[in-house]
Amino acid sequence: MKLLKLIALLILVPLLMTAFGAWEKMRADEDQADLQTLAVNLNESIPKLRELVAERPAALVTVGDEKMGASLALSRFEDAAEEMDTMLALAAVRVGLTVATIALGTIAALIGALALAATIAAGGIARQSRARMLRTFEAGRKILPYVLVSHIAIIAAAAATIIVFEALGMWHIGRMSSGDFKLLLAGAAIAFGCLFTAWNMFKQLGLMLQMFEPTPMDALGRTVSEAESPALWDYVRGLATRLSALPPDHIVVGLTEGFYVTSHDVLLQPSAQVLQGRTLYLPLPYLATLDRDETSAIIGHELGHFAGADTEYSQRFVPIYDGVSRSLHVVAGSIIEGDLLQRTMMRPAFLFGVFFMEQFDHSVNHWKREREFAADATGVRVSSAEAAGAALVRSVAMMPRIDHVLSARAEAPEATTEDAIEQLLRELSGAPLTAPDEHLAERLPHPTDSHPPTRNRIEALGTTVPAVLARGLRPVTVSDGLRTLDGYLGDAAPLRSALSDDFDAHVKAQDQEITELLQAHAAAVQDETRLTEGARKQGIFHYVLGGFFLLVSISMIVTALMTANTLGTALPVMLIVAGLFVVLSAILLWRGRLYIVDNDKPVITLTPDHFIITNVAQPVPIAHIDDMGLQVGHGVRITLTIDADAPMPTVLPLKMGARGAKLNKRKRTLTILLAQVSANGERMKPDQLLDLLSNYLKAGQARHLLKDRTA
C-alpha cells in the first residue's frame, strides 16, 4: 500500500500534470493561431475601412453577424490592433507556460520513477553482501533528501505554471471588467502560493537531511576510566587482544539495558556527555550475577563485532542505519507538531524515508542474525560453549525479575534506602531462578540489534538448553554479587550509590516532565463549549427551495384542472409529477424548519471531563473515549470510539430528523452527523473543530491520568 501511495505521489501526479499541460498546449496553439489570423485580417481591413469612411462616412458594414457604421467598425478595429501586440505576447507566454508544465511534470515523474526504482534496486543489492549493503545505503541516504526536495519543488512550480496559464487566459481584447481583474489577481495569488511552497521546500531541506542523518543514542550510566578501574580495563583489553578485536574507547556502567558495544555517538545521561567512538556498556545487575567465564563469553561476543570482517559493518553501517531509524521517529514528531503546510510538504518525503528503510530491513535482519551467531562463536573462543550457553540462560531468567524490581523502584523510590544493586541482588536471591520455554524464546535486551531467540543461539553454540540449565539457574547470593563487582571495579560501593541516585533522579525528572505535560494539557481546557448545528442559513435555503417547489406544484395542479379536457392522457402524468413536487416541497420545508428550530440547541456539550450528547442517557467520560475521528464531506461526521473496558453508553431514540448520536455496538462507536458545526454560536472550520475536540480529549485524559498518579 505504501508503494502504491508513493507511485501515485511521485509518478502519477506529475504525469497528470504533464497530460494537463499537453491539453493546455493544444488550446494555447489554437488561441495563438487565431490571434495571428486576426492580426493579419486587421492589417488588411483597416486601410480599406479608412478609404470607405473617407468616401462614405455613413456607410454600413457587416462585422461577423453584426451590422454597424463604417466609422464605428474602424474605431473598433483600430482599438483591437493597438492591443494585438499585447495579446500576441501573452499568447506566446501561454505557449511557453504549457511547455514548462509538460517539461516540469515529465522531469518530476522521471525523478520519482528513478528514485523508486533505485531504492528497490538498492534493497536487492543489499541482500548480496554486507559491503554492498553499506555502500548502497550510504549513497542513498546522502542523495535522497536532495532528490525529494527537488521533486516537491518541481511539482509546486508545475502547479504554478498551470494556474498562471489559466489566469492569463482571462485576458481579452477590449475593456477588462473589475471581475476579470479580480479573477486574475486570485490566480496570481494562488500561483504565488505554489511558488512560495517550492521556495519553502528548500527551507525544509534541513529537516529532510535530518531525516537521513543518524542521531545519538541515549544511555543512562557513568563512564569508568582506566585510572578508576584498572582491573576492568585490563580484563576487557585482554579479551580484545585474544580475539584480535578493537578495544573500546569508553566503558560505561549502568543499571538498565543488557551488555552491548556500539560505535554510535552515545548521549550519556544524566551528565549529557557525548561519547564518540566505540563504547562498551556493562549492566551491573548482570555483571554481578555472572561468573568470570560467563562474563567473558558475553563481552567476547560484543567485542566480536569489532573483529575481522564485522568491524567495518559495526563501525560504519550499524550506527548510521539505527541512527536514521531514530531520526525518522524524531521527524515524525516534528511533522505531527508542525503546521498544515509543513505536514503537506513533508508527508511524501517521510513516506519515502520509511519506504527506503524498509527496502533494507530484510537484508539488515538477515545480516544481524548471521553476525549474532558469529559473535556468539567468537565469545566461545575466550570461554566455553557451556559458559556462553549458561550466560544466555541466566540472563534470560533474570531479565524479567530485574525489570520488575527497577520498575517498582521507579514507582516508589523512597520505599528503600538500599542502593539499586543491593536491592536487585536481595530480590534475586529471595527465590530460585526459573527459565520457562517462553523466556528462552525471548531476545536479550539490546538498544540497537534484534538478537535471534535465545534457544537458537544456545543450540548454535553446539550445546543444548538442558546441558546448561543447572549452571544458568544456580542461586544468586548478595555477598557473592557484591564481591564480584568489587573484583572488577575495586570498591564498587560509591559507584553503586551514584548509579542508584542517577536512576532515581532520572525517574523523578521523567515523572516531573510527564506531570507538567499532563498539567499543561489539563489546564488548556476549563470551560464548557456547546456544539450546535448552527444551520439557520441552510434552513432558510430549504424554506425558499421548498416554497418554490410548492408554488410549482400548485401551478401545475391548477393548470391541469383548468385544461383537463385538452390534456387527455397527459393529465395523470402531470398530477403525479405535481404530487411528487408536493412531497419534495414538504420534505424541504420540514428540514428547513428543523434547521431553524434546532439552530441553537446543543448537540454535544464539551466539558473538561465529559462529552454530553443530546440523546445519550449519561454524560460520556472522556476517559472512556479511546479514539476520535472527524470526516468532512456531505456534512460533518464526528465518531467517538468507546474504550473496550468501558461500559457502553445508553442511546435514547431520536425524533425524526433530530440530531444526535447513533450507536454501533459491534464497533463500539458513537457517530454524530451534522450539516455544519458551530461552537458557542461561532461557525467552525473543520481544522478548528478538530483542534477543539482534540484539546478537550487531551485535557480530559490528562485529568484522568493525573488523578491516577495522585492516587
Which helix (H) or strand (E) segment is 664 a member of? strand 661-664
Q: Report pLDDT for 523.
A: 85
Spell out where 300-430 has E strands.
none
Residue 370 vs residues 257, 377, 452: alpha-carbon distances, Å: 22, 11, 9
Grid cell at residue 51: 478609404
Q: Quote the CA–CA distance of 17 and 530 in Å, as a whole number.
A: 44
> Is the Cα dihedral 309, 311, 317, 321 positive or negative?
positive
Q: Report pLDDT for 448.
A: 46
- Angle between helix axes 178-203 and 340-380 (nearest 10 degrees) is 20
Q: Which residues contact 61 (CB under 8 A, 6 or more apart)?
A: 49, 52, 67, 68, 69, 70, 73
Q: Which residues contact 95 (CB under 8 A, 6 or more apart)?
A: 25, 28, 29, 32
- Angle between helix axes 130-168 and 318-337 (nearest 10 degrees) is 30
Q: Three-state SS for 64?
A: coil
DSSP-derived letter for residue 177 is P
Grid cell at residue 155: 511539482
Which helix (H) or strand (E) segment is 81 a member of? helix 70-126
**Nearest alpha-carbon partner for 499 in 259, 223, 218:** 223
Q: Report pLDDT for 496.
A: 92
Tell me the whole-structure pTM to 2 decimals. 0.59
Q: Report pLDDT for 378.
A: 75
Query: Is 385:463 a contact under the CB 8 Å cutoff?
Result: yes
Which helix (H) or strand (E) segment is 5 a member of? helix 2-7
DSSP structure string for 190-230: HHHHHHHHHHHHHHTHHHHHHHTS--PEEEESEE--TTT-H
DSSP-derived letter for residue 280 is E
**Nearest alpha-carbon partner for 673 in 540, 529, 533:** 533
User: Position of cell 489539563?
Assistant: 522
- Is the previous residue joined to 270 through a cis bond, with omega within 30 degrees of 0? yes
Through-space distance between the first and last CA atoms of the chain, rounded to whole angstroms: 45
Q: What amino acid is encoded at 555 in this protein?
A: S
User: Position of cell 539499586?
Assistant: 420
Q: Quote the CA–CA distance of 127 and 146 in Å, as a whole number.
A: 25
Query: Is 351:5 a contact under the CB 8 Å cutoff?
Result: yes
Residue 585 vs residues 549, 581, 656, 697: alpha-carbon distances, Å: 5, 6, 17, 41
Q: What amino acid is encoded at 462 in this protein?
A: G
Which segments of the chain have a pLDDT < 70?
1-2, 129-131, 170-215, 307-350, 362-371, 374-375, 436-452, 534-539, 564-570, 594-600, 655-658, 711
Which helix (H) or strand (E) segment is 275 a member of? strand 273-275
Per 3-state DSSP, the chain is made up of helix, strand and coil in percentages (nearest 5) of: 65, 10, 20
**Nearest alpha-carbon partner for 282 in 103, 107, 125, 489:** 489
Query: Is 414:402 a contact under the CB 8 Å cutoff?
Result: no
Q: Report pLDDT for 316.
A: 57
Query: Is 585:553 a contact under the CB 8 Å cutoff?
Result: yes
Q: Quote the CA–CA distance of 379 and 165 in Å, as a whole number.
A: 70
Q: Three-state SS for 524?
A: coil
Query: Is 304:374 a contact under the CB 8 Å cutoff?
Result: yes
Query: Is 276:248 a contact under the CB 8 Å cutoff?
Result: no
**Nearest alpha-carbon partner for 77 in 37, 49, 101, 35:** 49
Grid cell at residue 49: 475601412
Q: Three-state SS for 336?
A: helix
Judged on CB neighbours under 10 Å (0-12, 13-18, 19+), 248 is buried
Q: Quote the CA–CA distance of 212 and 142 in Å, as a whole number.
A: 7
**Nearest alpha-carbon partner for 254 in 406, 392, 387, 388:** 406
Q: Quote the CA–CA distance of 605 and 528 in Å, as a whole number.
A: 7
Q: Quote the CA–CA distance of 329 and 350 in Å, as a whole number.
A: 10
CB atoms within 10 A of CB 312: 13
> Is the Cα dihedral 190, 193, 198, 201 positive or negative?
negative
DSSP structure string for 96-138: HHHHHHHHHHHHHHHHHHHHHHHHHHHHHHHTT-HHHHHHHHH
Query: Is 360:321 a contact under the CB 8 Å cutoff?
Result: yes
Grid cell at residue 410: 521507579
Residues facing 636 on adjacent strands: 632, 674
Q: Quote the CA–CA distance of 245 and 232 in Å, as a whole number.
A: 17
Q: Quote the CA–CA distance of 677 and 660 in Å, as a whole number.
A: 13
Query: Is 281:252 a contact under the CB 8 Å cutoff?
Result: yes
Give the neighbor-by-neighbor strand order of the sheet with 661-664: 625-633, 635-642, 669-674, 661-664
> Is the Cα dihedral 314, 317, 323, 325 positive or negative?
negative
Judged on CB neighbours under 10 Å (0-12, 13-18, 19+), 566 is exposed
Quote the Cα angle for 628-633-639, to 5°: 20
pLDDT tens digit sequence for 67-103: 777 777 777 777 777 777 777 787 888 888 899 999 9
CA atoms within 13 A on the CB side of 31: 25
